[in-house]
């Protein structure tokens, strides 16, 4: 059922001033990036010139920083930014090929709204939209949506599962050729090519049809990022791209084999799900220069910020009394937040015997993602190794600061990947699906006569 | 407290192919307009060249056509189009001055999402966003949002009332100068300039703060369109623009005096609410040419479409058995739909003694809005009369078809209004508020010392 792509995919994971927690303090950073459209336009066009598959935005429906105090919060430069779907709609008009993957929560949205806005973005961009399906795991978000507590982990995933089905069902409301538009006869669409969803489930009752035509890609690309058991099952059943966070090749390989192995159960082949770990690259002409650049960023982290960030993983614990140069206090066994993130950080602390300060510095930089500090060749070698070792189909590049961190990757790392034949030198497709090597899904209602007959017999 | 503007305002109320129900069949219409960004870009830039205050989009969260049968539905050319907030975000990048007023329902949304997306649009457009606050009054919408029936009229308005308060409260989460962004000290924002809403009401509990900075306009412009009692009260308390539908000068004058008279009760002056009736203009070099243009459009209405449209006002009744050239069947006393629209149509039918066909033709054209068929001078005269007779502060122009219907208004009517000094020849402001002559609202939390002291004493 298809082959593995011979080239890797690249996404640019943009955060206002970059991924490092102190990125806004970097001398080159556009500190007002969060509400500066010219900034996003420039970095998106830069990623497009480098032939990236897509840019990616995370999202949350609250000021989610779990800082124990307002003093720490006031040092966070990423709290107040554009909303992803509106920002991407604007960016679609100033680009031609690059894809747009927007995160949107299934916990505090309604499927009709998201199906509609993603379909609209797909039309505005001529087939370049993707949806990163997440659940909301913070109390801060619950409190903005009429709840006292957020949904339990299992409920969140059950709701997400049904949510995705409703959204993809709504995208199939109209067949691709439903709109005949015959001015002469006055018939705008073919009655037989409109399908009413009539979904009635545990969490949602949605009749449909959607009031947007079927998207150019059929379905915008479905992306998933959770690494818990229900997250992996959701990905195996519905996702086409999975964003992950791994520190080591071995862990990444194990995860890659795990999720690819789950696909057959859903009648899917390994090529239908692309695994894209995050990489936080710090690039220097020499290893020493790269280390110095990293240290510059780390030196900008105020201790109150580092402790607040880490405190979130402890379930909101205030760590400010704990000595910075001693081992971190014991981790909780479980929280109702992101289980996969907690495990990652605990494993890191134990494996490397880090102090509290060292741990927050590691988290603060790439927040648990794979940090590679070195020359362009070293970074390209690592990407090649992970790609060829079946640890990754591509990478979600997380620039430490913007625009400089992305500029350096584009100028120095991308050309090496291209010289090695590992990355495209020109776009060959027009849609995000085509960039990623994903097939365009057929409409579930537009079955062939044979398929329809088979369906009737098994019903 | 300010004076009436000396010039009128103009909005361009865009529907995909235009407002006439058969507009998509017009020889010049872009029949695929609903998903054609180039079409919207061209008509928006045209309205901007003519110095319109804003373009306006209606909205609903369903395929809302209440056609009694699929055959009638299949003749509707406006069912599947872009979603307004994504479309406007894209249009913001290809324009510089014109405002964007998007309709969004308070019945099936959450205030945090809308506050955020409108704030984001206001930033993307440098202060050109407006929100038309509506309630959802169709069963089709309820069925897409987990309900069997839509909310009762009174509940809808109660919810809308609270919704607006939450949204404007969220927009004030950050003071205008909250973000000091001091790279040296590492402080991004001033702790004293962040305000947590902590709203707990009948319909919503929303803690805040919003994760977008305070919009450039302070608040995007609040627009309202209902003409029922609770609709008028909502407008008097919260709205800055009101869109209305009146057939006669006298009715429009009475409504104008009515809503302006309600403002003092809320400590507001008449200039703080602009009344903008819709006008559906059909323009010819002679009266006869204009009549012929109108007849061309009317001749394109298929009877099944006209009866379906009218049936919706009868609460979904199937009128297809009723003779077309006899009087319409008796109207229901009440429906749970739009009360103001029902009254308008019943009054029209009774006043002019129309047959069923004549009535659906009148509705189908401008759907109850003020239709003026004539020369550019005649249309300009009517607009001037309504403006100077205190029936309107401006008009929402509803082109019968697009792009031609807007082109004719821009080429032939706007210059007459400009020659008479009734409309601007250049933009003098940058934001939608400035175009409309509306003051920028202060942040409720940024009180002067005197105000804060007075608040404490009355608390």
| Residue A66 pLDDT greater than 70, yes or no | no
Looking at residue A1, what is its pLDDT?
45
Backbone angles phi, psi at A110, to 5 degrees: -115, 140
Are residues B86 and A82, on separate chains, in Cβ contact within 8 Å?
no
**Residue of A68, A126, A131, A144 whose CA lies nearest to A103:** A131
Please name which of A440, A402, A200 lies closest in space to residue A281, comparing C-alpha atoms: A402
DSSP category for residue A80: S
* Lowest-pLDDT range of A147-151, A177-181, B166-170, B431-435: A147-151
On chain B, the residues whose CB falls within 8 A of the CB of A147 are 205
Residue with tokens 């050729």: A177
Question: Which residues of B are annotated binding-site positions for FMN?
Answer: 59, 103, 153, 157, 228
pLDDT tier at A233 (50, 70, 90 boundaries)?
Answer: very high
Q: What does the pLDDT average to over A4-15?
A: 95
| pLDDT score of B456 | 44
What part of B 305-344 touches A (C-beta under 8 Å)?
Answer: 305
**Binding-site residues of A:** 59, 103, 153, 157, 228
pLDDT attached to residue B29: 94
Lowest mean pLDDT among A350-354, A445-449, B113-117: A445-449
pLDDT score at B451: 52
Contact A124 B90 (CB under 8 A): yes
Q: Give the mean pLDDT of B160-178.
A: 97
| Mean of pLDDT values over A383-393 | 98
Q: Is A113 on the interface with B (CB under 8 A)?
A: yes
Could you read off the pLDDT of B331-344 as tens digits, one per residue? 887 665 667 777 88
Please, what is the average pLDDT of chain B?
Answer: 92
**Residues in the annotated binding site of B:** 59, 103, 153, 157, 228
Tell me the mean pLDDT in the region B111-131: 98
Say whether residue A22 is in contact with chain B using an 8 A CB cutoff. yes
- Please check whether residue B123 touches A, CB under 8 A: yes
Closest C-alpha among B400, B407, B156, B108 to residue B282 = B400
Domain boundaries, chain B: 9-301+369-458
Q: How confident is the model at residue A314 (pLDDT cuts 50, 70, 90)?
A: confident
pLDDT in tens, A407-444: 999 999 999 999 999 999 999 999 999 999 999 999 99
Q: Please tell me if residue B86 touches chain A, with a CB cutoff of 8 Å.
A: yes
Q: Domain B9-301+369-458 classified CATH 1.10.10.10?
A: no
B213 shares contact with chain A (CB less than 8 Å): yes
Evaluate if residue B309 carries a pLDDT over 90. Answer: no
- Whether residue B192 is predicted with pLDDT greater than 90 in this model: the reply is yes
B264 min Cα distance to partner chain A (Å): 33
Taking only the tens place, the pLDDT of each residue in A201-215 is: 999 999 999 999 999
Best probe of the B interface among A89, A93, A185, by most B CBs < 10 A, is A89
Which range is least confidently modeled, A69-78, A120-129, B391-400, B442-451? Answer: B442-451
ipTM of this predicted structure: 0.93
Give the pLDDT confidence of B54-93 residue by residue, as tens digits: 999 999 999 977 665 788 899 999 999 999 999 999 999 9
What is the arithmetic mean of pLDDT over B276-305?
Answer: 95
Per the CB < 8 Å rule, is B86 touching A61?
Answer: no
pLDDT of residue A456 exceeding 70, the answer is no
Residue A365 has pLDDT above 80, yes or no: no
pLDDT per position as a tens digit, A280-309: 999 999 999 999 999 999 989 998 888 888
Does residue B453 surpass a pLDDT of 80? no
The pTM assigned to this predicted structure is 0.93
Between A445 and B143, where is the model more confident? B143
Question: What pLDDT score does B348 carry?
Answer: 85
Establish if B85 touches chain A: CB-CB under 8 angstroms.
yes
* Stretch 157-196 of chain B: residues touching chain A, C-beta under 8 Å: 174, 179, 181, 183, 186-191, 194
CATH of A9-302+368-458, one of 3.30.1490.150, 3.90.1570.10, 1.10.8.60, 3.20.20.30: 3.20.20.30
Please judge whether A146 and B206 are an interchain contact, meaning their C-beta atoms are less than 8 angstroms apart: yes
**By CA distance, what is A69's nearest residue in B?**
B191
The answer to whether B183 contacts A81, with C-beta atoms less than 8 Å apart, is no
Interface size A-B, in CB pairs within 8 Å, comes to 218
Reply yes or no on whether the pLDDT at B169 is more than 70.
Answer: yes
Contact A63 B37 (CB under 8 A): no
pLDDT at A68 over 70: no
């Amino acid at each position: 059922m298809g082959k593995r792509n011979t080239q890797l995919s690249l996404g640019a994971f943009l955060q206002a001033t970059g991924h490092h927690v102190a990125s806004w303090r970097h001398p080159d950073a556009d500190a007002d990036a969060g509400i500066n459209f010219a900034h996003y336009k420039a970095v998106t066009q830069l990623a497009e010139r480098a032939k990236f598959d897509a840019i990616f935005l995370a999202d949350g429906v609250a000021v989610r920083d779990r800082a124990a105090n307002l003093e720490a919060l006031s040092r966070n430069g990423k709290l107040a930014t554009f909303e992803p779907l509106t920002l991407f709609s604007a960016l679609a008009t100033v680009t031609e090929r690059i894809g747009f993957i927007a995160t949107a929560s299934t916990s505090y949205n309604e499927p009709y709204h998201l199906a509609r806005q993603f379909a609209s973005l797909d039309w505005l961009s001529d087939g370049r939209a993707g949806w990163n399906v997440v659940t909301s795991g913070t109390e801060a978000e619950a409190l903005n949506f009429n709840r006292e507590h957020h949904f339990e982990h299992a409920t969140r995933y059950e709701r997400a599962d049904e949510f995705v089905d409703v959204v993809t069902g709504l995208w199939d409301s109209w067949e691709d050729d439903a709109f005949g538009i015959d001015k002469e006869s006055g018939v705008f669409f073919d009655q037989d090519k409109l399908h009413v969803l009539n979904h009635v489930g545990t969490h949602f009752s949605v009749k449909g049809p959607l009031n947007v035509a079927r998207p150019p890609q059929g379905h915008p690309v479905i992306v998933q990022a959770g690494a818990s058991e229900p997250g992996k099952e959701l990905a195996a059943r519905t996702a086409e791209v999975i964003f992950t966070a791994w520190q080591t090749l071995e862990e990444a390989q194990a995860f890659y084999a795990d999720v690819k192995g789950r696909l057959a159960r859903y009648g899917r082949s390994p090529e239908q799900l692309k695994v894209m770990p995050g990489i936080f690259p710090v690039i220097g002409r020499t290893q020493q220069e790269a280390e110095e650049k990293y240290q510059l960023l780390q030196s900008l982290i105020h201790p109150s910020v580092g402790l607040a960030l880490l405190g979130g993983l402890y379930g909101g614990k205030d760590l400010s009394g704990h000595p910075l140069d001693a081992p971190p206090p014991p981790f909780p066994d479980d929280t109702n937040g992101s289980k996969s993130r907690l495990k990652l950080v605990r494993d890191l602390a134990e494996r490397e015997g880090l102090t509290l300060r060292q741990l927050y510095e590691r988290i603060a930089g790439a927040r648990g993602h794979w940090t590679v500090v070195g020359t362009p060749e070293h970074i390209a070698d690592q990407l090649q190794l992970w790609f060829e070792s079946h640890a990754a189909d591509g990478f979600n590049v997380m620039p430490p600061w913007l625009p400089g961190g992305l500029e350096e990757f584009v100028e120095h790392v991308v050309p090496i990947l291209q010289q090695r034949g590992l990355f495209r030198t020109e776009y060959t497709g027009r849609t995000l699906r085509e960039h990623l090597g994903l097939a365009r899904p057929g409409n579930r209602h537009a079955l062939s006569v044979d398929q329809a007959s088979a369906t009737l017999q098994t019903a």
